[in-house]
Structure 1
């Protein structure tokens, strides 16, 4: 492989930041205003958004430092160097379980929301299966081409959100956001914890840093990738509370989509803006699912190199679909999401931070 060809297969700091933003802006953005409204009971949830974003940035910075310490090496390879090969196998398998569960969560969310807002008569099982098949097709191709889809899709999503917010500005009532600073610190901390799932995704830096032209720029990519969701979440939360009030928002299953339903474009050119909004949003969730499934396969192939990517896709897909269909109702689904958040906090946040500290104590470092 020539040096030029290899360079074409690497991504820049800004591209990595967009990838992080895209994978972070997933299903959670559709539900987080309800979680915050329940926790704080007021407009003050914006403080929890910022606090949660700062915590996510701090954790992401440490994850990026760990991955940059071992450039061009997979999670399994540098975990084995730091903590021995048996430990590397165990931790990598636990990470694979997390990433696979996240794919299941995302595709089931697509099934639930699509049935509620788009395909009323279609069984959720068929919607979920169809989406999984499309994700399979994306992952089976070029990894860099899949990542570059984020450069194409994310700007479109921002344009649609901007249109929704523009046409709901006139619906904002100042009384809905009063009183200011009425929540105590316990409520704000509870809101910070509740919005945690909405920031899940920046941990992809652990696995994709090896594809960066300059892995040492990983921390900067984290800053770019998290700044976008934080600003977006702040804006959406303010509009949701301003339009519906906190009391109404806490009873809406998907407040962000309900906000889009309030849009009335003059002239009646579009009568159901929420359908257009959700259709565009599917592109972001598609990229999120594809990246998580790809990360699962990266980790598995790093441990079991004789098994090809295509074979792993065929092995994992039935299991992912089976797990996605386990929740019987929305209560089970959101319980699954909550448990997944805590599991991810342990496996892809605390464990890698511990690995970084251990690597520094032992003076272990990779070579590019």
Structure 2
């Protein structure tokens, strides 16, 4: 019996925390490079795909009350194949944590702690995230419930200051290059939306599991709106050609803001203060899910020992890439693994469930 319970709002914030991470800073540049001024349309398309995926996940969770994918995957796919699927998710979560930690450390070193070694920043992030994980899912939920609205409010407040300089005519023409460029850019943005798959693991923690789909829709909606807003403002302020050349457009548009009276000289520092909680909460959610898989597969009553044991493994994954290009390659491999898992595993399990139900009814 699961003692820790999450409200609908807490579940939505958990998923939002997992989905919003390093993409807040770099996504507009990646998208504009492939889709041009139609980059915001790609985000909406990816959001629609995510809605379909979580609908399947929520359906499976409702068919197996009180159980997560860790329990019903072996039932639907068989013990061997089900265990292999869970191990694939475990590898994906650990790789995702390692790459997010490294990318976050690189950005932090670039903009905040330029004299600090990357390894020290990585260790600091892991210690912070592990401390939260040791307190359990309720403590993580309360932390997200406190920090996410504050960070989101601060970010939106700063972004409103850019509206005076924007030219939304730079977003035209819509679909000027046709629909093909939008479709080709789909994988790039879907990588940044990964994180909603934690519903497969946290669904039984909800006080009202039947409302899990509503929480997922809310989380996806908030993420899509945030990403679309950042992309639209980046293009409207600087133009598609310039956004493509800037690695972190979100920081660039905030740097361009002039505060009357100049009582705040560096608004980009505020952006970094907002971004760090987004990065840390993403790390926490994936690290927690990895610990949950391992502890339940091993039949352990508690996930804490496992989460501690994974710290040196994640640290090693984070520091192994020698430069930004290698980090990007690791991130792409991890993202493709995640896309494959969230696209194929729930769909195959729902087919297995339907086949199993039909077989039972026929006998």
TM > 0.5:
yes
1:357 to 334, 338, 351: 351
How does 1:329-348 map onto structure 2 within 5 Å?
A: 329-348=323-342
- Report Cα offsets for 1:216-251 as digits up to 9, x if no partner: 222212111111111111111110001111111111
2:59 to 42, 58, 65: 65
Measure, in 2, the Cα distance between the counterparts of 1:360 and 1:178. 46
Measure, in 1, the Cα distance between the counterparts of 2:200 and 2:301. 22
Shift, 1:181, TM fit: 2.8
Match of 2:24 in 1: 29
Match of 1:149 in 2: 143
Tell me, yes or no, if structure 1 residue 10 matches structure 2 residue 5. yes
Measure, in 1, the Cα distance between the counterparts of 2:256 and 2:157. 12
Unaligned residue ranges in structure 2 (runs of 5+): 359-363
2:43 to 49, 52, 65: 49
Tell me, yes or no, if structure 1 residue 19 matches structure 2 residue 26. no
Shift, 1:288, TM fit: 1.4
Measure, in 2, the Cα distance between the counterparts of 1:174 and 1:295. 41
Measure, in 2, the Cα distance between the counterparts of 1:139 and 1:315. 12
Measure, in 2, the Cα distance between the counterparts of 1:71 and 1:298. 18
- Report Cα offsets for 1:21-51 as digits up to 9, x if no partner: 221111112111011111112x211211111
Tell me, yes or no, if structure 1 residue 297 matches structure 2 residue 291. yes
Measure, in 1, the Cα distance between the counterparts of 2:258 and 2:323. 32
Measure, in 2, the Cα distance between the counterparts of 1:349 and 1:174. 35
Match of 1:285 in 2: 279
Measure, in 1, the Cα distance between the counterparts of 2:10 and 2:99. 26
Aligned length: 358
- 1:62·1:353 contact (CA, 8 Å) conserved in 2? yes
- 2:155·2:274 contact (CA, 8 Å) conserved in 1? no
Shift, 1:307, TM fit: 7.6
Q: State the TM-score, normalizing by the size of structure 1.
A: 0.93
Q: State the TM-score, normalizing by the size of structure 2.
A: 0.94
Measure, in 1, the Cα distance between the counterparts of 2:5 and 2:303. 20
Measure, in 1, the Cα distance between the counterparts of 2:341 and 2:169. 43
- 2:13·2:141 contact (CA, 8 Å) conserved in 1? no
Match of 2:361 in 1: none
- Residue 262 of structure 2 aligns to a residue whose secondary structure is coil
- 1:74·1:302 contact (CA, 8 Å) conserved in 2? no
- 1:27·1:285 contact (CA, 8 Å) conserved in 2? yes
- 2:53·2:342 contact (CA, 8 Å) conserved in 1? no
Tell me, yes or no, if structure 1 residue 111 matches structure 2 residue 105. yes
Measure, in 1, the Cα distance between the counterparts of 2:148 and 2:18. 10
Shift, 1:12, TM fit: 2.2
Match of 1:236 in 2: 230
1:162 to 152, 156, 159: 156
Match of 1:264 in 2: 258
Shift, 1:169, TM fit: 1.1
Question: What is the root-mean-square deviation in Å for CA atoms of aligned residues?
Answer: 1.8
Unaligned residue ranges in structure 1 (runs of 5+): none
Shift, 1:14, TM fit: 2.6
Shift, 1:53, TM fit: 0.6
Shift, 1:130, TM fit: 1.0
Shift, 1:200, TM fit: 0.6
Measure, in 1, the Cα distance between the counterparts of 2:212 and 2:60. 10
